[in-house]
A and B are shown apart, each in its own frame.
Chain A
């Protein structure tokens, strides 16, 4: 006699401790196997796109910090300002472009460190979290000395950056760059050699290359599935066109590849920072742009590589000093829905490992 079974619907969230924010996952289970996962979003909707229509272009810089991805404030400013500067034809002085590059790479480091630490906690490796936040604190201190803020910087301006580097900052940044590869090796020692960690991530949550393309996955998630696409290389912005760096690509598409891509990216970020500080040109940091800058009528789409992936900003101007419409193509949103492909067929215990490996920020998903 066959055992009668039926599917079980399990709600994870929105207050689940491992969902990195308020995300609800509706998991359909057959025994312990996942049949289907449906992410239910909207719990952190801040309507930042609508709010941007009632604020001037300068004020919106302060809004992108908080309303979008709160872990990568300057990457959001960059995505938004690329659109503004392209539409308005605002020139950015060379020194400002290089300063932005340095800051963006530090932002990538700090974001990846948060991801690594919290993912470690998800998988039961609490120690990594403490070490990651130790290094992240050093980066936030460096940010604080330049921008005055630790998370919400409001440092980039239309046509440049707000302030120049304080005296001695580059030495402190280079000292950090010298120290960081050793720290990265410590993370590798803690995790990459750990058999418990490997058993939970290696071969788990595979996203095949074609599925990654179909679901619109971007950033480290796509690069872990063998797609060699990095906006910094393909459509260079700021100083990335003049800097030599490698884009790590892994073929397997499992959680371990996504981990390795980010670990290698951190090494590349250090390399970019070092090179950018070495070649930092002197001169102006901000071109003359009036406070209430008016952009000509028109529309523009800009894309940049935020730590989470391809951040697109579509901006429509009707000639006033406020945008008519801003649409943000958030990288977390695209990667979140690739989750349905990754999780199918795995056990319920793998949900947290796979979800953590995607690195989503819910305020970026909902905007």
Chain B
């Protein structure tokens, strides 16, 4: 009889301790954000979308067409073409297939002029797979093709 009483007391005490933890968490500070309405801040090193930002001093991107990023990419998702020789060489194509990209950052690492960079955008989702091919214009603009997070859940646009 005493044994059953001890076991019952242990059970009640164990459950009460657990309940105490949940009550403590209930009055503790909030840990979540209402995502599409509130945004999460990402760190400056965030591996987000890739971009070739336009440098205001020269009015163009800093790419010197060395093909290093194309070569180092493990997913082979960067495609570069160029015409002209020596100083007149211009980019005719700089496509990144963002659906293949694994955000490893090796292209950013090998780039000698820091032309290709990560930007702190994380909302690249889209309804159309074709939208995930980022061409030179998209990369210069350095923003997601289709800011979509508001549309998905039907939150009122602000």
Q: A: which residues have CB within 8 A of B? A: 55-56, 58-63, 65-66, 127, 131, 134, 137, 141, 144-149, 152, 154, 162-163, 166, 186, 189-191, 193-195, 291
Contacts and interface: CB of A to CB of B under 8 A. Distances in A.
B48 to A, nearest CB: 8
Contacts of B18: 127, 189-191, 193-194
B20 interface: yes
Nearest to B110: A291
Contact of B74 (A59, A131, A191): A59
A176 to B, nearest CB: 14
Contacts of A194: 14-15, 18
Contact of B21 (A65, A66, A186, A291): A186
A162 B10 contact: no
Contacts of B72: 56, 58-59, 291
Given A59-B106, A162-B109, 19 more contacts: A58-B72, A62-B74, A65-B104, A131-B21, A145-B43, A148-B45, A152-B102, A152-B103, A152-B104, A154-B106, A162-B105, A166-B43, A166-B45, A186-B24, A190-B17, A190-B22, A193-B14, A194-B14, A291-B68
A149 B103 contact: yes
8 contacts: A59-B106, A60-B74, A62-B74, A63-B74, A127-B18, A134-B31, A166-B44, A189-B21
A226 to B, nearest CB: 27
B121 interface: no
Contacts of A148: 43, 45-47, 105, 118
Interface in B7-51: 7, 10-11, 13-15, 17-18, 20-22, 24-25, 31, 42-47
6 nearest A-B residue pairs (beta carbon) = A193-B14, A62-B104, A59-B74, A148-B45, A148-B47, A195-B11
B45 A144 contact: yes
Contacts of A137: 31
Contacts of B46: 144, 148
A190 B21 contact: yes
Contacts of A65: 104
A59 B15 CA distance: 51
Nearest to A133: B31
B8 to A, nearest CB: 9
B25 A131 contact: yes
A119 B17 CA distance: 20
Most A CB within 10 A of own CB, among B22, B68, B104:
B104
A84 B105 CA distance: 20
Contact of B10 (A134, A152, A154, A195): A195
Nearest to B13: A193
Contact of B22 (A127, A154, A193, A291): A127
Contacts of A193: 13-14, 17-18
A62 B102 contact: yes
Q: Is the interface of B mostly helix, strand, loop or mixed?
A: helix
B31 A195 contact: no
Nearest to A163: B45
Contact of B20 (A56, A62, A189): A189
A191 B10 CA distance: 13
Interface string B61-98: 00000001000111000000000000000000000000
Most A CB within 10 A of own CB, among B15, B45, B68:
B45
B14 A195 contact: yes
B15 to A, nearest CB: 7
Contacts of B15: 194-195
A55 B102 CA distance: 15
Given A193-B13, A194-B14, A149 B109 contact: no
Contacts of B74: 55, 59-60, 62-63
A154 B104 contact: yes
A249 to B, nearest CB: 26
B45 A145 contact: yes
B58 to A, nearest CB: 27
Contacts of B25: 131
A190 to B, nearest CB: 5
Most A CB within 10 A of own CB, among B22, B25, B74:
B74
A61 B102 CA distance: 12
Interface in B102-119: 102-106, 109-110, 118
Contacts of A66: 102
Contacts of B13: 193
A154 B15 CA distance: 43
A63 B110 CA distance: 17
Given A55-B74, A144-B42, A154-B105, A149 B17 contact: no
B27 to A, nearest CB: 14
Nearest to B46: A148
Contacts of B7: 195
A131 B15 CA distance: 17
Contacts of B102: 62, 66, 152
